[in-house]
Structure 1
Amino acid sequence: MSGIDDLPIRDELRGKSPYGAPQLDVAVRLNTNENPYPLPEALVARIAERVAEAARHLNRYPDRDAVELRTGLADYLSRTTGHRVATEGVWAANGSNEVLQQLLQAFGGPGRTALGFDPSYSMHALIARGTGTGWLSGPRQSDFTIDVHTAEQVIAEHRPDVVFVCSPNNPTGTAVDADTVLALYDAAQRARGGAGALVVVDEAYGEFSHRPSLLPLIEGRRNLVVSRTMSKAFGAAGLRLGYLAADPAVVDAVQLVRLPYHLSAVTQATALAALEHTDTLLGYVEQLKAERDRLVTELRALGCEVTESDANFVQFGRFDGADGAHAVWQALLEHGVLVRDNGVPGHLRVSVGTPAENDAFLDAVRAVTKENKP
């Protein structure tokens, strides 16, 4: 049977694999950074009400510009970050991945390049490839932070059109401070000259950080974008709703490439219902942050090397040998716990679950550690 490489697909897609984590039926699944808490019943009922109202008008196209939803997102950002965001400076799409795709469609593309600092969110490179944008991989230090001087040199040498900064960084959980972002932004503008370069701060896990959002940095910086998602903090991974905040001119630019009526009426109605319950959902975030910090403490007590985390997951190791991390991943799976083999040598990543799930994970780590002792 012939495969896709026998089709006339683009050369840069040949031999590649689609993005995705294993979906296995195990007792404790902590590998995809989902929020483990189901939506509260009051919110479920409100979603039903809003969707029922939207269903009465499904014979018509939805609001193409999603103005009510963008206004709600702007209000949410303004309230939680302390920086006023206007509706015209917010854009929403089907998950933050579509937001990033639209940015690369508008600011990347054939003959242009995007730069990220690896290890980081692998979809940045995949979306770049999918939009015909060249990809450049900048380095991180041994503690997974970005060295400003080295990064500035890489930007000056390669002159990327788009720069991605993931904070908190996936898969390491590492946050980026404001001074680093400003230095990279200034370097990107100098390197490109003229209209400069677009710098995208991916804050998919921003609500879980110990640090304040980097969103206020967009003030006065036309080429700086902050992307967010409702999948994590809002516990709405199944909704597929992402958004960005930026200068209104950036929003105008992405509308040149967005598909017509890209956000369904049902999606908009569901997201608006979730925004009505922000305080309750952010209460779950506080619980997850406390559990995240507990996992860091407990894993270190077990002798693991743990990367500082500002996200709803923890990277841990260090497992020796070419197959050391995968062997531990397999052993944890045999104890009924699924974590992520994230491709970082010697490390694994565990999503923060409920207290009971986290206890099961820690018990599995203890058992595997005991089994592997000489």
Structure 2
Amino acid sequence: MTSLDELPIRDDLRGKTPYGAPQKTVPVALNVNENTHPIPEDVAHDIVARVAAAIIGLNRYPDREFTELRTALAGYLGHGLVPEQIWAANGSNEVLQHILQAFGGPGRTALGFGPTYSMYGLLAAGTGTEWVTAERDDDFELSAETALAAIERHDPDIVLLCAPNNPTGTPLALDTIRAVADTARGIVVVDEAYFEFAEPGDPSALTLLEGRPRLLVSRTMSKAFAFAGARVGYLAGDPAAIDALRLVRLPYHLSALTQAAALGALAHADEMLAMVDEIRGQRERISRELAALGYRPYRSGANFVLFGGVDDPHAVFEALLARGILIREIGLPGCLRVTAGTEAETTAFLEAMASFAPNRMTA
């Protein structure tokens, strides 16, 4: 059998590791920031009916411009957006890939602030874009001063801002986003995959789009909409930027079934998002009870909590797994990350952590 090293792959891909997280069948899976609440039954029935209707026409290609879906997404986002300002793809990862294909490439640089979403670097590598990371402030925060200093130092073609940040959950102040958008010469992408879990009233980067044609705001239906398996991501930006993404997308990249399912979910947006408050409450409960146990939960505006003060993260990970609870090792010293699940899932996790606490040593 031929090994990967024997194949004539690109030199810049040699030694790379594909994105991945443990996929295990366990009673309590809290490792990949899914929305663990099921889709409401009445919504599911409507989505099934829409998909069934779309099946009848599968002998024809889907609407290449996904016009109805773009209209629905613009309506959901608000802020005066129109369909011409909306793009969508098979998950926000493909949206980000389109951006890097259109605005990155050989001889160009993308800048992020680590630790951040690991797919940014992989997408950069896949498009031949140089990936550069700059450090954050203490406690994984990112001030405007720190961000602007990195932009001045690296002069990137693309800046990727994760707001709230993954894997740390750190919210990003609108002042920092505004400063970056007004300073960087290239494209600025604000990845708001977890924005619906932010504190009520927190402003979105969508409020900054007007007059900033190089600013793009990415979202996903995977998290708040509990639609991870459907693979629907989207962004808002200037119509000219949307035209640039058309140059790199594959023909008919959004299937008729994907479009139908997404339209069904958006038609029930209020019901689909009703669980967000509960998830936010479980997130706060995790932070509060982990702190009482002597761990260090970091500030989070997402549907997960990063916590430090873990003497042996891998041992705790394995001990939880032995109890049927799967969380995430992310490679940060003394830290683990857990998704805020249902009340029962959160209880199972916290009770397990409490059983470890008497024997743990503070890092």
TM tier, shorter chain? over 0.9
Asked whether the 8 Å contact 1:316–1:347 carries over to 2, the reply is yes
SS in structure 2 at match of 1:315: strand
Q: Give the Å deviation of 1:285.
A: 0.9
Aligned-residue CA RMSD (Å): 1.2
* TM-score, normalization by structure 1: 0.94
Match of 1:177 in 2: 173
1:84 maps onto 2:73 in alignment: no
- What is the SS of the residue equivalent to 1:137? strand
Q: Distance in 1 between matches of 2:122 and 2:277?
A: 32
Structure 1 residues 90-109: aligned runs within 5 Å: 90-109=86-105
* CA shift digits 1:39-73 (9 cap, x unpaired): 11111111111111111110000000000000000
Structure-1 residue corresponding to 2:12: 12
Letter in 2 for 1:19: Y
Aligned pairs (5 A) from 1:219-298: 219-298=210-289
* Alpha carbons 1:70, 1:90 under 8 Å: kept: yes
Question: What residue ranges of structure 2 are gaps of 5+ in the alignment?
Answer: none
Contact 1:332–1:368 (CA under 8 A) maintained in structure 2:
no
C-alpha deviation, 1:344, in angstroms: 1.7
**Displacement of 1:373 after TM fit?**
6.1
Partner of 2:336: helix, strand, or coil?
strand
Which of 198, 203, 216 aligns to 1:212? It is 203
Structure 2 length-normalised TM: 0.97
Cα distance in 2, alignment partners of residues 77 and 351 from structure 1: 25
Whether the aligned pair in 1 keeps the contact of 2:293 and 2:354 (CA below 8 Å) is yes
- Look up the match of 1:46: 46
> What residue number does 1:130 align with?
126
% same residue: 57
| Displacement after TM superposition at 1:349 (Å) | 0.4
Following superposition, the deviation at residue 149 of structure 1 comes to 2.2
Residues in 2 aligned to 1:216 and 1:149: alpha-carbon distance in whole angstroms: 21
Q: CA contact under 8 A between 1:317 and 1:325: conserved in structure 2?
A: no
Give runs of ≥4 in structure 1 deviating > 3 Å: 371-374
CA distance in 2, matches of 1:113, 1:373: 42
Match of 1:348 in 2: 336
Match for residue 63 of structure 1? 63
Distance 2:227 2:108 in 1: 34
Question: 1:23: which partner in 2?
Answer: 23
Shift of 1:336: 2.1
Indicate whether 1:115 and 2:111 are aligned.
yes
**Is 1:359 matched up with 2:354?**
no
Alignment-derived partner of residue 298 in structure 2? 307
After the TM superposition, which of the residue ranges 270-279 and 208-217 deviates more from structure 2?
Answer: 208-217
1:337 to 291, 309, 325: 325
SS state of the match for residue 238, structure 1?
helix
Secondary structure class of the residue paired with 2:73? helix
Deviations 1:324-347 (A, max 9, x none): 222221222222211000122211
Give yes or no for the alignment of 1:187 onto 2:183. Answer: yes
SS in 2 for 1:143: helix
The one-letter amino acid paired with 1:286 is D
